[in-house]
Structure 1
Amino acid sequence: MQQIGHFIGGEHVAGSSGRTHPVYNPTLGEQTKEVALASVEEMDRAVANAQEAFPAWAATSPMHRARVMFRYKDLIEKHMDELAELLSSEHGKTVPDARGSVQRGLEVVEFACGIPHLLKGEFSDSVATGMDLYSMRQPLGVVAGITPFNFPAMVPMWMYSIAIACGNTFILKPSEKDPSVPMRLAELMMEAGAPAGVMNVVNGDKVSVDAILDDPRIQAVSFVGSTPIAKYIYSRSAEQGKRCQAMGGAKNHMIVMPDADMEMASDALIGSAYGSAGERCMAISVAVPVGDEAADKLLEKLIPKVENLKVGPSTDPDAHFGPLVTAEHLAKVKSYVDLGIEEGADLLIDGREFRMQGYENGYFMGGCLFDNVTEDMRIYKEEIFGPVLSVVRAKDFDEATRLPSDHEFGNGVSIFTHNGDAARDFARKVQVGMVGVNVPIPVPLSFHTFGGWKNSAFGDTNQHGPEGVKFYTKIKTVTSRWPGGVQIGPDFTIPTIKS
């Protein structure tokens, strides 16, 4: 069985803790690999390598770092099929979906290629006699990322591409469920010309996470995962004086106004709710038609599309989605469907008993659709993270706006309408961090920033875009005077600019 260790100081390193975690192929329902879980000592070694590499990398010109990113971009494109197939084999998402997720990560690499421009500071000439004022952005040092199973390529690239381009060195702790792609991405970073120690991958569990949070040499931590863990990482990082951005869970709503194109809205719901088996933090899991007439029209379009979803092995290019990531997660998602029935919601389509012929051991589940879900139900309140869509009927526009605004999560929301006034009003009023207008998954492109509100995000900076550059750098302001031979006597008052 293949053994996966760590990537430290530019080299593959076998795990030495004696602790391991199984890696499964979700389509087959079989263990195919074993990944090492790092000890505190192994994490210490990775941090030491990163710290040693930092001064020279920080002193490297931004143009040189950009050229490394350009080469890295080229290598990822050349290895796109390999990365997508490897990702699919451990996560279970279809190969086309996996390829798309790698591409979305690659777009942040492309953004990082512009780092010489992004690091430019500000300059004010002659703010006083012989005095200039300017600022510069400088890297923090060793920084770390802790990433989830659902996007083992995209989310890490959101973090380390910008961090490394800014001159930092990076420790990545990926999910132990699908560790192979992060390891391959680290290899390609070295091939692109990054020095040893600039990017390190340490596989592990809570032992590794706590080692990251407690190590004083690590200056900043970026996290994507569940809300309870995000809160834990944010609070423990704050105790240690680290910068932290921690992205948590979601319960994304899609408002469907009575004037919406129901064909387009139902197509949008099918893709966003059931794509990747619902294992996306930006998946739409709640449809909110406004008025019973709109709800009935929407369900008339939606039900046959859910019934005709094609679930298949991750290698099937025609499959709409593949298996869930593990047997444990499959059981958890099914338990939420059981709970929804107990709570009184109407289960219109039940995918719990789906079996994939020829892949009976795989972690497959068909799409599920609930109607008449209410705010007090746990299936509405909690993140299910599976192919389950709940329909919550709103009486009017105000209630439809209130539902996502009052929810504890505030990651993404969408509205489908032909009414520009309603769309504009909704976008301004709704208390959610990312809004789509006739767009079901409003994930910003790499040159804007990604981040939710409320219990979906902790910290005051978002992922990638200008916020990413801000997070991974510290600003230094220099006040400079060259008096040109003019003698200036002592001044015992606070410095001011005299008109």
Structure 2
Amino acid sequence: MHEIHHLMDGQSVAGSSGRTSPVFNPATGHRTGSVSLASAEEVDAAVASAKVAFDEWRTVSVARRTSAMYAFRNLVAENTTEIARLLTAEHGKVHNDALGEVARGLENIEYACGLAQHLGGHHNESASTGVDVYTVRRPLGVVAGITPFNFPAMVPLWMLPNAVACGNTFVLKPSERDPSAPMFIAELFREAGFPPGVLNVVNGDKVAVDRLLEHPDVKAISFVGSTPIARHVYTTGTSHKKRVQALGGAKNHMVVLPDADIGLAADSAVSAAYGSAGERCMAISVVVAVGDVADPLVEAIKVRMEKLVIGDGSDPASDMGPLITREHRDRVAGYVGSAAEQGATVVVDGRGARFDGDGFFLGASLLDNVTPRMDAYTDEIFGPVLSVVRCGSYTEAVGLIAGNPWGNGAAIFTRDGGAARRFQTDAGAGMVGINVAIPVPVGYHSFGGWKDSLFGDTTMYGPEGIRFYTRPMVITSRWPDPATSSVDLGFPTHE
């Protein structure tokens, strides 16, 4: 078993709190390592390091920041396979999903490489006689990111590149369940030539989170996780006068109209519901089948599920890996049972799947005739369970989405351009897909939902990320006419 420490001042630092947390390979159920859990004092040390580094880093030229960011981008690209291996070993996702996670993270590094353009202010010469006015964007100082287990490489890369490129220094608190990939990325960041202290990593649990939220030298917090924790992060952070962007949970709906391409809709539903074992905030949790499309759609989804290969994520034949912990697997399985008890039709029961060994595997489940009052609908399951709700009309379908407390993503499958255009207005979600089940924005747009899926008014990465990690300064200046100046500047006199 290997021990995973903190990273401070560019050095690996063993934990001193005496507290550790086990790290498992979810495919085998075997413990593979131990991660240190930071004390409040260790968090203070990381913040102090970042604060000292900020005094110099904020003055570093945009050209030098960009050069280091390009070097970081190239190192991540060169080590994609190793990062993906670490993701599979501790999260369990299949290799292709892990490669996709790294690719989406790279998009955000590449966006940050163009910060010279994004940070350009605007200037008005002679706004009044002899008066110039211009706006610039200044870094905040020490900022922190608290990231989830389901995307331990990608989500830190939603935050870190933009924050640092803007001139801030960064303290990362990754999930203690799968910390090796973010720690490896931090090592690549150091290798790229960023000064010590620009990035510090503290592994930990609630102790570390709460200290970051309260620390007076942390100016902003970025968070991705469940809605209850997002609410806690937002409430606590803002009460301590911090900027906070906190992304919470989701219950993403995919509306399928009667004119939809059933093959495309079924393929998309299976991929979106069961990819990464459903452990992603953009997973499709609910298919809303409108009218007489329901029966053929459910059958098409069922047929495709029969072809899913569930196994160790390191096996190229696997389509879906295990869940993150044994406890989470059992919790997800419980929703299949409660749905049956509450009147849903269990079309495919993943609890019946059998696997060798002690891995945290669960088969994929499909529930039909789910109603909005059932636990499988009201709760965020975060696992390989897809619910089908039947509606009689488009109006009923969008009303269902509108009544849901979350508003992360929503999708519609149809051949009708008018219905698709109307859905863009009616969907009530921050990210909308038209014949695209998982409408995750590319790196030069921004990611975030509405309602209980987002606390704060700024979404992640892209243009909104730049706005979050900087604050505007407006400078108004007046200079005397050289001809009337008391200082001889060598200008010709005008007779």
- 1:204 counterpart residue number: 204
Q: Residue type matched to 1:390 in 2?
A: S
Q: 1:413 aligns with which of 390, 406, 410?
A: 410
Question: Which deviates further from its counterpart, 180-189 or 306-315?
Answer: 306-315
Q: Does 1:301 align with 2:300?
A: yes
TM-fit CA distance, 1:308: 2.1
**Aligned partner of residue 393 in structure 1, secondary structure:** strand
Structure 2: runs of 5+ lacking an equivalent = 485-495
- 1:55 counterpart residue number: 55
Give the conservation status (yes or no) of the 8 Å contact 1:105–1:153. Answer: yes
Q: Residue type matched to 1:377 in 2?
A: M
**Aligned partner of residue 376 in structure 1, secondary structure:** coil
**Aligned partner of residue 459 in structure 2, secondary structure:** coil
Q: Distance in 2 between matches of 1:159 and 1:434?
A: 19
TM-fit CA distance, 1:301: 1.0
Q: Distance in 2 between matches of 1:267 and 1:141?
A: 46
Q: 1:400 aligns with which of 397, 400, 422?
A: 397
Give the conservation status (yes or no) of the 8 Å contact 1:129–1:483. Answer: no
- 1:281 counterpart residue number: 281
Q: 1:383 aligns with which of 380, 384, 388?
A: 380
Q: Distance in 1 between matches of 2:85 and 2:349?
A: 30
TM-fit CA distance, 1:486: 9.0
Give the conservation status (yes or no) of the 8 Å contact 1:249–1:409. Answer: yes
- 1:186 counterpart residue number: 186
Q: Residue type matched to 1:286 in 2?
A: V
Give the conservation status (yes or no) of the 8 Å contact 1:135–1:476. Answer: yes
Q: Residue type matched to 2:410 in 1?
A: V
Which digits, 9 at most, give the CA deviation of each residue in 1:197-228, with x for residues without a partner?
A: 00111000000001100100000000000000
**Aligned partner of residue 137 in structure 2, secondary structure:** strand
**Aligned partner of residue 7 in structure 1, secondary structure:** strand
**Aligned partner of residue 73 in structure 2, secondary structure:** helix
Q: In the comparison of the two structures, how many residue pairs are matched?
A: 485
- 1:496 counterpart residue number: none
Q: 1:484 aligns with which of 466, 478, 481?
A: 481
- 1:349 counterpart residue number: 348
Q: Distance in 1 between matches of 2:416 and 2:386?
A: 25
Give the conservation status (yes or no) of the 8 Å contact 1:17–1:37. Answer: yes
Q: Distance in 1 between matches of 2:279 and 2:162?
A: 25
- 2:79 counterpart residue number: 79
**Aligned partner of residue 238 in structure 2, secondary structure:** helix
Which digits, 9 at most, give the CA deviation of each residue in 1:358-379, with x for residues without a partner?
A: xx20011111000000111121
Q: Does 1:112 align with 2:112?
A: yes
Q: Residue type matched to 1:243 in 2?
A: R
Q: Distance in 2 between matches of 1:451 and 1:343?
A: 33
Q: Distance in 1 between matches of 2:423 and 2:470?
A: 35
- 1:492 counterpart residue number: none
Q: Residue type matched to 1:93 in 2?
A: K
Q: Residue type matched to 2:479 in 1?
A: W
**Aligned partner of residue 172 in structure 2, secondary structure:** strand
- 1:437 counterpart residue number: 434
Q: Distance in 1 between matches of 2:158 and 2:183?
A: 16
Structure 1: runs of 5+ lacking an equivalent = 488-499
Q: Distance in 2 between matches of 1:266 and 1:202?
A: 42
Q: Does 1:237 align with 2:237?
A: yes
Alignment root-mean-square deviation, CA: 1.1
Q: Residue type matched to 2:327 in 1?
A: E
Q: Residue type matched to 1:264 in 2?
A: L
**Aligned partner of residue 56 in structure 2, secondary structure:** helix
Moved over 2 A (4+): none
- 1:327 counterpart residue number: 326
Q: Residue type matched to 1:211 in 2?
A: R
TM-fit CA distance, 1:353: 2.9
Q: Distance in 1 between matches of 2:309 and 2:25?
A: 19
TM-fit CA distance, 1:241: 0.2
Question: Which deviates further from its counterpart, 459-468 or 337-346?
Answer: 337-346
TM-fit CA distance, 1:243: 0.1
**Aligned partner of residue 211 in structure 2, secondary structure:** helix
TM-fit CA distance, 1:402: 1.3
Q: 1:446 aligns with which of 443, 463, 479?
A: 443
Q: Distance in 1 between matches of 2:276 and 2:26?
A: 13
Q: Residue type matched to 1:179 in 2?
A: P
Q: Residue type matched to 2:234 in 1?
A: Y
Q: Distance in 2 between matches of 1:190 and 1:62?
A: 18
Relative to the length of structure 1, the TM-score reads: 0.96
- 1:463 counterpart residue number: 460
Q: Residue type matched to 1:445 in 2?
A: V
Q: Distance in 2 between matches of 1:225 and 1:208?
A: 15
Q: Distance in 1 between matches of 2:162 and 2:82?
A: 24
- 1:44 counterpart residue number: 44
Which digits, 9 at most, give the CA deviation of each residue in 1:246-294, with x for residues without a partner?
A: 0000000000010000000000001000000000100001000111x10
Q: Distance in 2 between matches of 1:394 and 1:318?
A: 37
Q: Distance in 2 between matches of 1:47 and 1:135?
A: 29
Q: Residue type matched to 2:71 in 1?
A: R
- 1:14 counterpart residue number: 14
TM-fit CA distance, 1:171: 0.4
Give the conservation status (yes or no) of the 8 Å contact 1:354–1:366. Answer: yes
- 2:173 counterpart residue number: 173
TM-fit CA distance, 1:485: 6.3
Which digits, 9 at most, give the CA deviation of each residue in 1:27-78, with x for residues without a partner?
A: 0101110000000111111001000000111100111111111001100111
- 2:472 counterpart residue number: 475
Which digits, 9 at most, give the CA deviation of each residue in 1:280-334, with x for residues without a partner?
A: 100001000111x100111121111112211011111121110001101101101
**Aligned partner of residue 110 in structure 1, secondary structure:** helix
Which digits, 9 at most, give the CA deviation of each residue in 1:114-172, with x for residues without a partner?
A: 01111000111211101111000011000000000000000000001100111100000
- 1:213 counterpart residue number: 213
TM-fit CA distance, 1:463: 0.2
